[in-house]
Structure formats: C-alpha cells, structure tokens
Amino acid sequence: MKRINEAQLQILEALNTYRFLSVGQMISLGISKTKYSISKNTSVLLAGKKPLLAFADFGTFPSIGRLPRLYYLTKHGAEWLAEAFGVDAEDINHPKGVKIFTREYFHRVATINLHISARKFTDSIKGMEFDFYHTYFEHTGANHTRNPNTPKRQALTRITLQDRTFIPDVIFSLHAPDGVQWMFTAEIYRNHTTKRTYQQLEHHIQSLAESGISKAYQYPRAVRVLMVCEELGAMKALQKRIAEDPKFKPFEAFILFKTTDDISRNFPAGWQSFTGQIMNAFEVPRY
C-alpha cells in the first residue's frame, strides 16, 4: 500500500467527497495555503505505475486563458482509499470514465463550489450532518445491459413528473441539530439568457405541485429551490421575469435567489424570493 502524508490523504478524502477539484478549491478547503504545496502533493499522488490521482486538462478558454485542471480519483486511488477506510471500493466516489467537458466546465465547477459552501456551513454547526449531494453529471444504472432488471443509465438527479422528466443540477440533503431533515434542489445560472433557466423553473414548480422530488426521495415536505446566479444583474433580470408570471406566485417562498459570491460568504442567510423578500434557507415557508 502506497505511503502518503496527511495532506495527500486529505486530497484523496476531499476527492471522495467532491468528485472533482481544482488546486484553488483544495486551498479553499484548507488542505494547504499555497498552490505550490498542493501541486507538490498532487505530483506524488500522480506518480508511479498505478497513480492514485488523474486530472482533466481543459486547455485555454477565449478571453480567460488556461483553465485550472480538475483532479479526480483513479480506480486504483479509490481502491487505496477503500482499503484505508475499510469499505468497499464501490463506496468511494470516483468517476468511471472522464470526458473533457469544456463547455460545461464553469457550470460543473459552480456545482462543486456550492457543495463546498454547503458543507463548510454544515461543518460549522455542532450536531448538523450532511446526508448527500447529488449532481446532474453523476449517473446510476448501466449503459448496456441485457438484464431487464438492471436499470438503464440515467442522471442521478433525474425526476419523473406526470407528463415529463427533468434533471435538476443538484439535489442535496442535511439534518439540523434538532434532527429535522432539510432538502434542497439547486440550479446554476451563469448567463444572461433566461429562457433555459426559466423553463427549468417551470419544471420545478410542477415538481413542487406534484411533490415530484419529495416523493422520489421520500422527503415529507416541499423542497426548497436554490437559484445560484453568477452575476447580480442576471439574477435581477430572472427575478423580474418570474415575478411577472402569475403561475409562479404560489411558490414564491420555495424559490430562493443568491449570487455565487454571497453563498461563499454566508450559505444560509440573505437569500431572496423573486419579489426581493429576504429569507433564510432554513426558514419555514409561510403558506
């Protein structure tokens, strides 16, 4: 079994939690304070005939430059961590095959940043526990199977409604210190084109009306929808459009808006409804 130091073990543990991470995200998690230290430790994990880590290189992006590579556990890394934890390798979160997803790069990174912010908040509260964090780019089932009892491959967050299916970006759950479960779904909004996000929100209010996500996860209450917006101006435009559509009005208390920067500073507080009402993510909605 390969010998590693504490920082290297923390990198493996973090990748088991978050699946993909950049050097900057590892720093934000407190694994190390400098890029040099992270790079030195990842180099050790990348070395050898059976490396514990691999990375995806996304090259350069117009007007931005070179994109940070994203690290992930290899199959051998998952097996190493499973042996260290005394669990089955299938219990370790590692991708079974990685394709370069340049067009989705920023969107996926944003889902990971939300995960980091949510877990940092959970870790800061004594007695609060994080249950799970499911994303649209994780899958369940098999690509090819002749066994009719084996589910076909589909997104982990795929939800079936009465007349359609839809795939939220994120669904996650945690338990508060008083034992109450809180479940959220989230959408990442990165651009100024509201059409796709607006349609996704239409699916969410249908899901709220039918208890689609709640039934799928056996959650006893309505799920809060978190709209994570990259820019304040784009967020305001989306809020305005939704506020002008009367079919959203009954669901105002369940659709919350916030910018990415605000989430990283304070996860639970300072969310807004689409009319601008300030709300806490854990505030019980008033019907």
**Tens digits of residue pLDDT in 52-84:** 999 988 888 777 888 899 999 999 999 999 999
pLDDT at 1: 65
**Architecture per CATH, 6-100:** Orthogonal Bundle (1.10)
Query: Would the pLDDT of 124 be above 80?
Result: yes
Q: What angle do CA 121, 127, 132 make, to 5 degrees?
A: 60
CA distance 120 to 116: 6
Cα torsion 36, 230, 132, 120: sign: positive
Give the position of tokens 């009319």. Answer: 275
Q: Give yes or no for a contact between 280 and 268, defined as CB atoms under 8 angstroms apart.
A: yes
| pLDDT-above-90 percentage for the chain | 69
Give ranges for CATH 1.10.10.10 in the chain: 6-100
What confidence tier does 147 reach under pLDDT thresholds 50, 70, 90? Answer: very low
Among residues 267, 258, 186, 196, the alpha carbon closest in space to that of 229 is found at 258
Mean pLDDT of 97-104: 73
Range with the poorest average pLDDT among 156-165, 183-192, 277-286: 277-286
Give ranges for CATH 3.40.1350 in the chain: 106-279
What confidence tier does 143 reach under pLDDT thresholds 50, 70, 90? Answer: very low
Output 64 or 106, whichever has higher pLDDT.
106
Among residues 98, 251, 274, the alpha carbon closest in space to that of 189 is found at 274
pLDDT at 168: 96
pLDDT at 95: 83
* 182 beta partners: 174
Output 151 or 221, whichever has higher pLDDT.
221
Q: What is the pLDDT of residues 263-286, one digit of tens each?
A: 988 999 999 999 999 999 988 665
Q: What is the mean pLDDT of the chain?
A: 89
Mean pLDDT of 177-186: 94
Query: Would the pLDDT of 92 be above 70?
Result: yes
pLDDT at 93: 85
| pLDDT-above-70 percentage for the chain | 93
Mean pLDDT of 196-224: 94
Determine if the pTM surpasses 0.95.
no
What secondary structure does DSSP assign to 72-133, as a single string? EE-HHHHHHHHHHHTS-GGGS---SS----GGGHHHHHHHHHHHHHHHHHHHHSTT-EEEEE
Token digits of residue 196:
């796709």
Among residues 254, 230, 231, 260, the alpha carbon closest in space to that of 242 is found at 254
Mean pLDDT of 109-130: 94
Output 141 or 29, whichever has higher pLDDT.
29
Does the domain at 106-279 match CATH 1.10.8? Answer given as no
What confidence tier does 144 reach under pLDDT thresholds 50, 70, 90? Answer: very low
pLDDT at 61: 79
If one counts every other C-beta atom within 10 angstroms of the C-beta of residue 235, the result is 21
What confidence tier does 148 reach under pLDDT thresholds 50, 70, 90? Answer: very low
What confidence tier does 145 reach under pLDDT thresholds 50, 70, 90? Answer: very low
pLDDT at 141: 54
